[in-house]
Amino acid sequence: MEVPRQQRQQRVLQCACQGNTVSALTALFGVLGFVWTKLGFPAPPLLLGFVLGPMMEEHLRRAMLMAKGDPTVFVTRPISLAFIVITAIIVVVMVAPVMKKRRGEITG
């Protein structure tokens, strides 16, 4: 997924010079991608967030409407509870080494 820098800049400039809304959005995302790359953010998780975020929001809203606003439906159903527990375990496994490393840097 690595595009040479010169090609990336040329494509962004080319799209920005066309002058329509789609081109302006393409140029904006090109600039955002460049900034995120310089700041060290990985691209695939950001793209997944942009694509899946609105869909997750819509389905959460739909589930809450079906449950009449009761959020306990997510922990009383076994499949939902399993997904929540698995997600929590993954987050802890991913964050724990980073926290340990930072704690070691702070203390000495």
Average pLDDT, integer, range 72-87: 89
Q: Which stretch, 9-23, 42-56, 85-99, has highest mean pLDDT? A: 85-99
Give buried/exposed letters for 2-13 (b at 16+ CB in 10 A, else e).
Answer: eeeeeeeeeebe
pLDDT band at 53 (very low <50, low <70, confident <90, very high): confident
pLDDT at 87 over 90: yes
Predicted TM-score of the model (pTM): 0.50
Query: Tell me, what DSSP letter sits at residue 77?
Result: S
Distance, in Å, from the CA atom of 11 to the CA atom of 1, rounded to the nearest integer, reads 15
With beta carbons less than 8 A apart as the criterion, state whether 35 and 28 touch.
Answer: no
Question: Can you tell me the distance from the alpha carbon of 61 to that of 53, in angstroms, rounded to the nearest whole number?
Answer: 12
Please report, for the chain, the start and end positions of each structural domain, with discontinuous segments joined by +: 72-108
Closest CA to 83 of 73, 70, 96, 98: 73
- Give the three-state DSSP class for 20: coil
pLDDT recorded at residue 23: 65
Mean of per-residue pLDDT scores for the chain: 81
Task: Reply yes or no on whether the pLDDT at 108 is more than 70.
Answer: no
Residue 32 contacts residue 12 (beta carbons within 8 Å): no
Top pLDDT among 58 and 106 is at 58
